[in-house]
Structure formats: C-alpha cells, structure tokens
Amino acid sequence: MTNKANMPWEERHEGCSDVMWRYSQNPVIGRYDIPSSNSIFNSAVVPFEDGFAGVFRCDNKAVQMNIFAGFSKDGINWEINHEPIEMVAGNTEMIESDYKYDPRVCWIEDRYWITWCNGYHGPTIGIAYTFDFKTFHQCENAFLPFNRNGVLFPEKIDGKYAMLSRPSDNGHTPFGDIYISYSPDMKYWGEHRCVMKVADFTDSAWQCTKIGAGSVPIRTEEGWLMFYHGVINTCNGFRYSMGAALLDLENPDKVLYRSKPYLLAPAAPYELAGDVPNVVFPCAALTEDNKVAVYYGAADTVVGMAFGYVDEIIDFLKKNSL
C-alpha cells in the first residue's frame, strides 16, 4: 500500500496541554453530507492511491443503518457515495444482512479488509474485502451473535489473522470486555483470549461499564498502540470516552500499559449534543512518522478528528497506567 498524500494534521493549539487535541474545524463530516442521511458517524478511513478512502456509517432518514464508500484527496473533505455498498459473495454465498454499522478498515498484505457490526439474527462481526473500494466481497461472519467492535490487526500474528472484538447482547449492552481471536483463513475463528476487562469503578470510572476496540492497532517499537472506547453508566445514561492501550507485539493478549485517565471525553458541543449525547467513539487512525490523527464518531451524529504524537501518547500511558 503506497500513498502520496499527506495525513491531515493540525498542531497543538496555543495554551493546550492535553496529550490529544481536537481539530479546530470539527466536525469533518456533517450529519447531512449525503442527501439520504440522518447522521454520518463511527466511520473508518485509510490511505488509498493519491489520497484516502473510507467506509462510513450513514443512517438514513428512516434510521436504517448501512455502510457507504467515500473518497478524499486530503482526509478532510469527503465525497461519500449516495448509495450503500452492495456486497458480492466472497468466501461464502451467505451474505444476508439486516443492517450494517460501525465499520473499520484494515490493509493486510494485498487488500483492504472491512469489518462491521452485521445484523444476522442479532449483531455479529461482518467481514469483507476490497481492492478498489468499488467492489466489496463479503465473507463469512466471524462469530455467532452477539458481538460488536471487530477490529483486525494490520498484519498476521504468528502466521494467523488476528481480530479484537467485544462479546455483547442484542440491546444497549450494559457490559463488555475486549477479546482477541485468531484465524488461518479469515473464515474460521478460534483461540479466543481475553485481552482487557472493564476497570473498577474506584480506579477509572470512565471505563467501568464496558470497553471496545476502536482503531486498527498501530505497530510501534514498544508495542501495538490501540485506541479504544470506554463507557460509564451515569444518571444521564451512557457516556463514551476514548483511551489507549499498548499491547505486546508478539502476544497481543498481553496488555503492557493502559490509560487510567481518558485521552478524550465528550466536551465539545457536537460531542455533547446529538442523536446520542455524550459520545466519543474512535474508529480509525492515520499515522505519519510520529503523528497520529484519530477519526471518531461524535454523539452518534457526526465525525470528528483529534491529533497527537505517538511518543507522547505512549509516554502518557507509561506514566498513567492502570
């Protein structure tokens, strides 16, 4: 995978001492950016050709959940297709789906893999691949219902594909830990291991109800850097914030460091108000040298972007780990 475009970037704002900071022009994608949409959020972006491509969650005005392809020259200004992705058969003829939402996109070896929450008798993890973001080949669902937040690693671990996920239920899940599973062929998944559990309320309450993997893990010299969401159930409902963890490169079910304080929590107006208030939900991260840009869903309504330096984030994890 080669890319000639520069990653979106904005330096830390004057007077800001936070480890990560919001893009001053957020949101980068509005709720009505295609004619049919009620909201566009929880979407995934990757470098592609001389720019960027993405898979976007667009709920229409009937609030039917589906995923759409889109393209950008700069990672900020997007042209999202007006029609949802139509899948063709990949490694299975069973491509039934009642809904699709919260996609992630990952380049592995020779193609782009897409995972999403797929409606098949309840939520599970759908998988597809594409070479051009025009034709998408749907594969077998990874797991039985109920599961969400399927996130692939960008390279094989000990010769096998690896995926993080969060077993759940059929509703607004009031629990959830992060697991890892392995596959020899992107069809049959096993060797399920627990990676991270929710934090104790007295230690780190922002992530005491449920957690879920966010962006595709980033390989660093010190481990896999993974952004994730954590949830607390407040008297005003669920509140979603963003943290990060560093996982062992060879055994990613081993957590080396994990943020005790959050990195980003709902504070901006577009995070506090929307279809689902108080949500910061990371789904993608772009890296360039030491810089990282994280795309996140805000209030289940729009897409925001936040920036940081990889070495500063890792240093923060080391000094503020659970």
pLDDT, tens digit only, all 322 positions of the chain = 656 689 999 999 999 999 999 999 999 999 999 999 999 999 999 999 999 999 999 999 999 999 999 999 999 999 999 999 999 999 999 998 999 999 999 999 999 999 999 999 999 999 999 999 999 999 999 999 999 999 999 999 999 999 999 999 998 899 999 999 999 999 999 999 999 999 999 999 999 999 999 999 999 999 999 999 999 999 999 999 999 999 999 999 999 999 999 999 999 999 999 999 999 999 999 999 999 999 999 999 999 999 999 999 999 999 999 9
- Calculate the CA 305 to chain-centre distance: 12
Query: Rounded distance, CA 312 to CA 220, Å?
Result: 13
Tokens of 3: 């890319």
Q: Determine, yes or no, domain membership for 98.
A: yes
- Name the residue range of residue 101's domain: 27-320
Q: Determine, yes or no, domain membership for 313.
A: yes
Q: Determine, yes or no, domain membership for 6.
A: no
Q: Determine, yes or no, domain membership for 165.
A: yes
* CATH code for position 86: 2.115.10.20
Q: Determine, yes or no, domain membership for 194.
A: yes
Instruction: List, as own/partner pairs, every contact residues 157-165 make where C-beta atoms lie below 8 angstroms and the sequence separation is at least 24, other chains included.
Output: 157/182, 157/250, 157/252, 158/250, 159/184, 160/184, 160/191, 161/108, 161/185, 161/186, 162/252, 163/115, 163/125, 163/189, 164/195, 164/213, 164/217, 164/226, 165/125, 165/213
Q: Determine, yes or no, domain membership for 80.
A: yes
Q: How many domains does the chain have?
A: 1
Instruction: Evaluate the CA torsion angle 52, 158, 225, 289 in order and state its sign.
Output: negative
Q: Determine, yes or no, domain membership for 4.
A: no
Q: Determine, yes or no, domain membership for 278.
A: yes
pLDDT at 189: 98
